Amino acid sequence: MYNLFPFIKRILFPGLDIGTRKRMKFAKYFKGGDILTLDAGCGNGAFSFAACKIGNGVIGIDSDSHKLNRTLEFRDYLKIDPKRCDFKIHNIYNLLKLNQKFDQIICFETLEHIKDDEQAIKIFSEIMNEGGTLHLCVPYLNRKLYYGEIISETENGNHLRLGYTFEQLEEMIGKQGFKVLQKDTAVGFFAQKLINLLNWLQLNLFKKFSNRIRDGFNSVILIFLYPLTFLDKFIFTKPLNIYVAAQKILRRT
């Protein structure tokens, strides 16, 4: 029987997550060409595929095997060469075991889930070539919790901290020899309202339905309400996410 999942996913790509759709704007800062990129915490592979599209060889890592299997299935559906875009179950703390040096590292919406975030940045520096670029996207510290968000004390998949400021990121990565080149933000007023609406529906009204039915409802809501998020640029509010691109300029010993 024909599997409709990859076909539907391609139509809706990069998916039903509003935050991911809005963070796709940061892909314009990625370095193109035949370089090796690591996507640390690759999720559904949206940013891995974006890097591959501009000529990068990509290794995406994640700890969620179920999600990664779906990402691999989608990669094969898109007929992307596995040698150009590979995905692995791997832990950020163990990245040195890959025995690879990277020209570019993407780490989006991952640091807030890691207890020792400074150690993660140190490892990124150790596996990156001189002149390489680090792309970080994290929740903004000075924001409100979104509906259903949980701040935990252990690495259990929830956020361990509310977020960061640009100053905190710059100080943390500066210690590991990175210089900030670019700053940006994403997910404004209407996008945040839509995230809260979808989360409320998932946790309350839709929780008794199967995942496929819930995805169907969310798809309809996305189609009709997502266009409102393009009005975010006209309304000032604290962003949900902040982004920095930084270049490795010092050799660490």
Percent of the chain with pLDDT over 70: 94
Asked if residue 225 is part of any domain, the answer here is no
**Per-residue pLDDT at 244 exceeds 90:** yes
Asked if residue 23 is part of any domain, the answer here is yes
Q: Which residues are within 8 A (CB) of 171 and not within 5 positions of it... i.e. 6 or more apart? A: none
Asked if residue 86 is part of any domain, the answer here is yes
**CATH number of the domain residue 50 falls in:** 3.40.50.150
Percent of the chain with pLDDT over 90: 79
Q: What is the pLDDT of residue 211?
A: 78
The better pLDDT of the pair 177, 7 is held by 177
Please state, in angstroms and rounded to a whole number, the distance separating the CA atoms of residues 224 and 20. 18
Q: Specify the DSSP class assigned to residue 159.
A: B
Domain count, the chain: 1
**Where residue 1 falls among pLDDT bands split at 50, 70, 90?**
very low
How many residues appear in the chain? 253
Asked if residue 213 is part of any domain, the answer here is no
**Per-residue pLDDT at 253 exceeds 60:** no
CB atoms within 10 A of CB 179: 12
**Where residue 5 falls among pLDDT bands split at 50, 70, 90?**
low
Please state, in angstroms and rounded to a whole number, the distance separating the CA atoms of residues 9 and 174. 38
β-strand partners of 104: 37, 133
Q: What is the pLDDT of residue 12?
A: 76
Mean pLDDT of the chain: 92
The model's pLDDT over 125-149, given as tens digits with 9 standing for 90+, comes to 999 999 999 999 999 999 999 999 9
* Secondary element (H or E) of residue 18: helix 18-23
Q: What is the pLDDT of residue 7?
A: 62
Q: What is the pLDDT of residue 230?
A: 95
Q: Which residues are within 8 A (CB) of 13 and not within 5 positions of it... i.e. 6 or more apart? A: 46
Please state, in angstroms and rounded to a whole number, the distance separating the CA atoms of residues 134 and 92. 14
What domain range is 140 assigned to? 5-188+239-248
**Per-residue pLDDT at 6 exceeds 90:** no
Asked if residue 140 is part of any domain, the answer here is yes
Asked if residue 172 is part of any domain, the answer here is yes
Q: Tell me, what amino acid is at 55?
A: G
**Where residue 110 falls among pLDDT bands split at 50, 70, 90?**
very high
Asked if residue 177 is part of any domain, the answer here is yes
Asked if residue 211 is part of any domain, the answer here is no
Q: What is the mean pLDDT of residues 170-174?
A: 97
Q: Which residues are within 8 A (CB) of 218 and not within 5 positions of it... i.e. 6 or more apart? A: 16, 198, 201, 202, 206
What is the torsion angle, in degrees rounded to the nearest 10, for the CA atoms of residue 120, residue 25, residue 50 and residue 164?
Answer: 10
Q: Which residues are within 8 A (CB) of 204 and not within 5 positions of it... i.e. 6 or more apart? A: none
Q: Model's pTM, two decimal places?
A: 0.93
SS3 state at 112: helix
The model's pLDDT over 193-214, given as tens digits with 9 standing for 90+, comes to 999 999 999 999 888 888 778 8
**Per-residue pLDDT at 252 exceeds 90:** no
The model's pLDDT over 37-87, given as tens digits with 9 standing for 90+, comes to 999 999 999 999 999 999 999 999 999 998 899 899 889 988 999 999 999
Q: What is the pLDDT of residue 4?
A: 53
Q: What angle do CA 159, 37, 241 make, to 5 degrees?
A: 30
**Where residue 2 falls among pLDDT bands split at 50, 70, 90?**
very low
